[in-house]
Each structure stands twice: as structure tokens, then as C-alpha cells.
Structure 1
Amino acid sequence: MPQSRTASLLTIYPYITSRDQQLLQLLDDHQVLTTDQVHRMLFHARRTCQIRLGDLYGLGLLDRFRFARDGGGSQPWHWTLGHHGHQFQAAAHQRPEPSLRTSRQTVQRLSANPHLNHLLTANELFVRLTADARHHHGARLDRWRSESMATKQFRTITADGHGLWSAGDATVGFFLETDTGTEPLGRVVAKLDRYAQLIRRGGLRYPVLFWLGGEHREEHLHRLLRGEHDGVSVATGHPHQPPGRSGLAPGRRHRPGPARRAAQRPRPARGGQSELRRRRDLRSLTDPDSRTASAVTAGQRHGRRS
């Protein structure tokens, strides 16, 4: 295999597999993935994944960067499109061919982006769903839209992603809101207003999935979600759920682990207030094609901050 990163794109076509093309499209759509994320989505053996990523880097199809880890060592490699990868994707989608300088600037800006962790966390939800579908018959991620793609499609909202998840004969669409703990939870809950506006305009009544930094943050969010919020359905999850709770454990079929939790209908609690229960899968919320489905609702703001 040629190792020159300055070779012509056409000369490396014989070395590009269908799986490589799938990876190039993923990175074109979602900008960056770690070695572990690529492994879980596309490969069985981690070592095979590492070797192939190195080959694609040598061909100039991929580029990579990583940072020092606090306390010593290095973070995992972060993979993105290299110059030849940008050229290939531009040709595939009939876009203007980027210059070498443009390709390098794209990688540099991405690596220095202060929202890089937010992007990786948002991608992680979809990576988990993709990996889950690989190991469970009848489960599949039918759609994965990035923030820019979702914003372009739905305009009013600024979701961090949008997906369609199927398990068996059930399918549910959802909007993703990723929370890395950098803003007050009251402001996070306020994002539901735009989704309510989308529904009032006749838009799709998809649930909003809040992907939070941990269980403690998740519990705080549910204390803020009280009563009705113009019919907006809410599901929650976090990346640190134990395997047995995330729905990704072996033998658990057709369960979208990262979206395991969902806010159920409020029920009376002490003092006459409402309490939100969270024991349903994302797929049980609603059928995306049904405007009259029995969707759970949550989320009236009360002006509190965490």
C-alpha cells in the first residue's frame, strides 16, 4: 500500500474499501470520531481497526490529533478527514475541490474548537446506538443527522442531532440535546420552548433526548421538569450508565440503551405536586408518524437554577 500523503487521489482508489467509504462519509457528516468510536461502529477487532486507521492516515484520507491527558499520558486519537478524504467527499457530492491549505485549516480549527468535547459527546450517543444495532437483530439506527443538518432541516430548533431508531417493528424519532455541564440546568430546560414552537407550527412531534454528563446531573434535570410543556416529550440518559442499566448488556434485545430513560406522565406526589417517573425506553414514547400517539410529556420551567 502506498504511504505517500502527496500521491494523486486516483492512484489510491484501488485501496479504498466500502467500509473505508462508510467511514469517510461518517467523518464528512460528523467531523470527528475517536479510535474507540470507530472500532465500535465498524470493526470487530480493535487491533484491526487501529491498523486500518493508520493505513488510511498514510494514504492521506484521514488526519488525526490528540492531546496530553491530565496526570500523564495521552488522550485517544481523534480522527477526521485528511486532504484526500476531503477531495474524495467533494467529488462524491459534487462540491468544489478543497485546496490543501483549506483541508489543513479545517483540521486545525476543529482540533482547537472549544466545543470539541460537546461534539464528541453528541456523537457518542449515536455511536452507541449504531454499535447496539450491530449486535441485536431487528434494531437499527435509520437516521443520524448532525447539528448543522438538523438545523438546516428544522430551522426553528438548534438540536445537537436528530435520529430515527427502530427496534423490531417500532420506530421513534428524536431530537438530541447534549449537556456537558457548562450551563445552568434552567437554561437547558428552557430549550424545550423551541420544540414546543415547532409542534405549534405543525412540525413533527419528536421526543427530546437530553444526553447528560452523569446521573447526578440527570436527577437535577428531572427535578426541574414538572407538569406539562406544550406536549413536548422528554427522554434522558448519560454516558456513564452501567451496562446492566444502559440496555446494552448481552441478551437484552431491541433496547436503545443510551436512551433508556424517559420521563413518564406526572403523577400526584406529596403536597399535591407532580413527580416525574423515568422507567420507559425511548422507543416506547411515540411512533414518529403518528400525531395522536400517546406520548409522555414533561417539562414546565419553574425558574430554578442548579
Structure 2
Amino acid sequence: MPPPRSDHLLSIYPHITDRDRHLLHLLDDHHVLTTDQIHRLFFQARRTCQIRLSELHALGLLDRFRFARTGGGSHPWHWTLGHNGHRFQAAAHDRPEPTARASRQRVHRLSANPRLTHLVTVNEFFVRLRAHTRRQPQARLDRWWSESTTTKQFRTITADGHGLWSLGDTTVGFWLEADTGTEPLHRLIAKLDRYATMSRRTGVRYPVLFWLDRPRREEHLHQLLRHSEVTVATATHDTDPTDPVWLPAGTTSRVAIADLPADHGHPVADNPNFHDGIFVA
């Protein structure tokens, strides 16, 4: 059993594994993961996952919340950083140490955020990619960026996420637009103008992946799509995004992410984040 919570962060270091550190890093970047998502990312047995999460909660490294389901029962536990988790990540990244009150407020804001379902959906997309790499050695998720990191790095776009997906010697960058069915389709399409502007400015031409909540909505989106300077491909939540399920606009055949066209761009004199033709943080 882990020791009781302590004001001295160093006292819990002997109980933190490399896997725990990786989980803390992901939650620092992506805020929230469900029990099932953490299980698929890091564990073989679900029970082992549940036990370890409870231990990390007892150490104050993680916090959790869940809501009641309509009709009875509860939604799954949603896990985020606890106060000691925030302290550990602050130390790791040379940030000011948060107070206990600030850590509690972060959890409260996250749990009450009206975009929580959307955030979990975005993370689910990347969890499916990362979980696939555990089964397929030739596949790699070389980059998993959140909306905030993507916006900070590329500035002119507001993608829900950005990734680099590799299969063998092929690496494809992509922008993710995760749809939960609450936004008008014309608003989704309007985002493509910013991607086109960014592509002209930087030379980075990654496909925009619209991950839609249901097939009917996907069909309607394709009816509205017109010619665009950027590659657009769609799939739905009920599919495995690592499979050949992506339908490029203007085509009738579905392909895998690694089969979509992508150009990593070219070095730009006034952009220090371009190295070897690839935009990096």
C-alpha cells in the first residue's frame, strides 16, 4: 500500500514508476482520461489498472470524478492530476508550485466544463492510435498534441489536435477535428479556410481529419464540401481510426491515414520551429 499523503513530495518518489510518470505527463498535457482509456494505454489487465489508479489517488497524484447516468448507474471515472500530480509536473517543467486551492479549482473547472465530452472524444481518438501501436510494432504515434499546444505552435489554426502517424517508413501529419454533433456543419467547413492559409504560409499540407459522431452526419458533410486547397477525409466514431476507414472528399474509396497525402513543408526563414523540413516544437 502507498504511504499516506504527504506535504513532502520527495517522500512519494519511491512509489512513482516510469509508467506513472508517463501517465502524469499525458494528464498534464491532455487534462483528462477515463479508466478505460488509461487501461488501453498502459495496462494488460483492467483490474491491475484499477488498483494502480486507486494507489495513485491515495498518493494525491491523481484526482477523479464521475457523473450519474440518466436511468441509473454512473459514467466511468474521469481521471486528472491531483494536487501532488500538479506539484510534480510543475517541478518537472520549472513552473511555480500550485497551491492546494488552485489544484482543487482546476479539477472543479474541468469537471464542470461544458466541453468535457468533446475533450474526452479528442483524447479517445489519440488513445485508439496509441493503443494500436502496442499491438502493431510497425505503427507509431510520433506526436500527440492537444488543442492548446497545436494553437500555440501554429497560431493561425485552432485544430482539436495534431499528430504524426507513422506506419513503417511512411509518416503522415494530420489535423483532427473531432465532432460531437453539436456544431453546425457549415461552421466545421468554414475552418478549412484557416488551414489553407496556413498551408500557403508554411508549406505544411496535412490532411484535415473530420471524426464525426454518426454516419448520417458524415454523409451530409460530404454533400456540403466543395473544392478545397487542403485534403479532407472523414470517418465516424464507431470505426477504428487505424483501419482504412477514411473517406477523402470527392472520392468513393476509403483509405488508411498512412495512405493520405501529406507534405511536411519546407524551412521558412522567419520560423525557428522548422527543422529538416518538418515543423517541430
State if a TM-score over 0.5 links the two structures. yes
For 1:286, which of 246, 261, 277 is the aligned residue?
Answer: 261
Report if aligned partners of 2:203, 2:263 keep a CA contact under 8 Å in 1: no
Name which of structure 1's ranges 6-15 and 125-134 shifts more when overlaid on structure 2.
6-15
User: 1:206, 1:57 → 2: CA distance?
Assistant: 39
Residue 228 of structure 2 is matched in structure 1 by: 229
Residue 158 of structure 1 is matched in structure 2 by: 158
Name the aligned partner's letter for residue 54 of structure 1. S
For 1:238, which of 236, 239, 249 is the aligned residue?
Answer: 236
1:193 to 2:193 alignment: yes
TM-score (norm 2): 0.91
Report if aligned partners of 1:160, 1:175 keep a CA contact under 8 Å in 2: yes
What 5-or-longer segments of structure 1 have no aligned partner? 248-255, 267-275, 292-306
Report if aligned partners of 2:146, 2:160 keep a CA contact under 8 Å in 1: yes
For 1:260, which of 242, 245, 250 is the aligned residue?
Answer: 245
Shift in CA distance, 278/119, structure 1 to aligned 2, threshold 3 Å: farther
Q: How far apart are residue 286 of structure 1 and its match?
A: 2.1
Name which of structure 1's ranges 158-167 and 197-206 shifts more when overlaid on structure 2.
197-206
Q: How does 1:1-306 map to 2 (within 5 A)?
A: 1-226=1-226, 228-230=227-229, 232-241=230-239, 246=240, 256-257=242-243, 260-263=245-248, 266=250, 276-289=251-264
Q: Secondary structure at the match of 1:180?
A: coil
User: 2:103, 2:202 → 1: CA distance?
Assistant: 40
Q: How far apart are residue 202 of structure 1 and its match?
A: 2.7
Residue 275 of structure 2 is matched in structure 1 by: none
CA RMSD, Structure 1 to Structure 2 (Å) = 1.5
User: Relative contact order: is structure 1 or structure 2 higher (C-alpha 8 Å, sep ≥ 6)?
Assistant: 1
Report if aligned partners of 1:262, 1:282 keep a CA contact under 8 Å in 2: no
Name the aligned partner's letter for residue 286 of structure 1. P
Report if aligned partners of 2:203, 2:265 keep a CA contact under 8 Å in 1: no
Name the aligned partner's letter for residue 264 of structure 2. D
Name the aligned partner's letter for residue 90 of structure 1. A
User: 1:175, 1:60 → 2: CA distance?
Assistant: 34
Q: Secondary structure at the match of 1:26?
A: helix
Q: Secondary structure at the match of 1:201?
A: helix
User: 1:64, 1:148 → 2: CA distance?
Assistant: 22
User: 2:30, 2:153 → 1: CA distance?
Assistant: 16
Aligned-pair identity in percent equals 64
Residue 269 of structure 2 is matched in structure 1 by: none
Residue 278 of structure 2 is matched in structure 1 by: none
TM-score (norm 1): 0.84
User: 1:102, 1:29 → 2: CA distance?
Assistant: 17
Q: Secondary structure at the match of 1:47?
A: helix
Report if aligned partners of 2:203, 2:264 keep a CA contact under 8 Å in 1: no
Report if aligned partners of 2:3, 2:12 keep a CA contact under 8 Å in 1: no
Name the aligned partner's letter for residue 166 of structure 1. S
**Matched positions, count:** 266
Q: How far apart are residue 211 of structure 1 and its match?
A: 1.1
User: 1:263, 1:214 → 2: CA distance?
Assistant: 17
Q: How far apart are residue 278 of structure 1 and its match?
A: 4.0
What 5-or-longer segments of structure 2 have no aligned partner? 267-281
Residue 299 of structure 1 is matched in structure 2 by: none
Report if aligned partners of 1:213, 1:238 keep a CA contact under 8 Å in 2: yes
